[in-house]
């Protein structure tokens, strides 16, 4: 009898963390913020994708970034929605235009099985961003029955952010923005 070596069916530990709904949502907010800034560079967006677990090399052109920017602007409307109904309406509109059917992929065994809504594993970057982001934001709205986050209330910021946990809804993307606005309000009241 031939000896057949047992193959491990345990995926690497980073697999589930890299492709979780929360990790995908964090990647979405980072990309929406970066892509909606003035003149995002292909190198900067590629670096951001690598930082959020995309496998190297990430080939990114100026046209890719321009197309992704359009997708990011559409996704921004989900974060700007005032309530779950508004977020769901935006997501339903975006999902209606999804080019692919819901499918599971492991990218040829290079990643754990996860859902995709884009047309193929080699879909253009903008299609991938819109489809994967809509899918994760849909799960967050479904799970919490509220928008997945918001747009920073600081007039000098405007970044999107994820809402975390229960309690009082956030108004700012960071403590820095909240403090800056609180100090400005205090100074205005003293003037």
In a 3-state reduction of DSSP, which class is residue 126? helix
The structure tokens listed for 42 are 């292909």
Mean pLDDT of 14-42: 86
Peptide bond preceding 57: is omega within 30 degrees of 0, i.e. cis? yes
- Maximum mean pLDDT: which of 4-13, 101-110, 155-164, 178-187: 155-164
The structure tokens listed for 59 are 């080939």
In angstroms, rounded to a whole number, what is the distance separating the alpha carbons of residues 67 and 87?
22
Q: Which comes out higher in pLDDT, residue 32 or 183?
A: 32
CB-based contacts of 127, cutoff 8 Å, min separation 6: 71, 99, 118, 119
pLDDT confidence tier of residue 170, bands split at 50, 70 and 90? confident
In angstroms, rounded to a whole number, what is the distance separating the alpha carbons of residues 32 and 160?
7
pLDDT at 105 over 80: yes
Least confident piece of the model among 11-25, 26-40, 116-130: 11-25
- N residues, the chain: 191
In angstroms, rounded to a whole number, what is the distance separating the alpha carbons of residues 9 and 33?
37
Domain residue ranges in the chain: 17-148
In angstroms, rounded to a whole number, what is the distance separating the alpha carbons of residues 78 and 37?
18
What does the pLDDT read at residue 139? 94
Tell me 54's DSSP state: P
Quote the CATH superfamily of domain 17-148.
Jann2411-like domain (1.10.3300.10)
In angstroms, rounded to a whole number, what is the distance separating the alpha carbons of residues 90 and 41?
27
- Mean pLDDT over each residue of the chain, to the nearest integer: 86
What does the pLDDT read at residue 1? 41
The structure tokens listed for 79 are 């974060």
Q: C-alpha angle 65/90/36, rounded to 5°?
A: 25
What does the pLDDT read at residue 47? 95
């Amino acid at each position: 009898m031939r000896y057949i070596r047992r193959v491990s069916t345990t995926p690497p530990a980073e697999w589930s963390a890299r492709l979780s709904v929360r990790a995908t949502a964090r990647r979405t907010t980072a990309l929406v913020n970066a892509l909606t800034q003035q003149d995002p560079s292909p190198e900067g967006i590629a670096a951001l994708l690598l930082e959020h677990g995309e496998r190297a090399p990430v080939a990114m052109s100026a046209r890719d970034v321009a197309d992704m920017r359009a997708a990011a602007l559409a996704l921004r409307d989900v974060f700007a929605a005032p309530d779950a109904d508004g977020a769901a309406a935006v997501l339903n509109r975006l999902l209606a235009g999804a080019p692919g059917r819901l499918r599971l992929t492991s990218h040829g065994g290079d990643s754990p099985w996860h859902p995709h809504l884009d047309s193929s594993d080699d879909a253009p970057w903008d299609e991938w961003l819109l489809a994967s982001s809509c899918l994760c934001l849909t799960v967050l709205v479904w799970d919490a029955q509220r928008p997945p986050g918001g747009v920073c209330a600081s007039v000098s910021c405007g970044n999107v952010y994820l809402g975390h946990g229960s309690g009082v809804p956030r108004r700012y993307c960071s403590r820095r923005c909240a403090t800056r606005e609180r100090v400005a309000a205090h100074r205005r009241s003293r003037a």
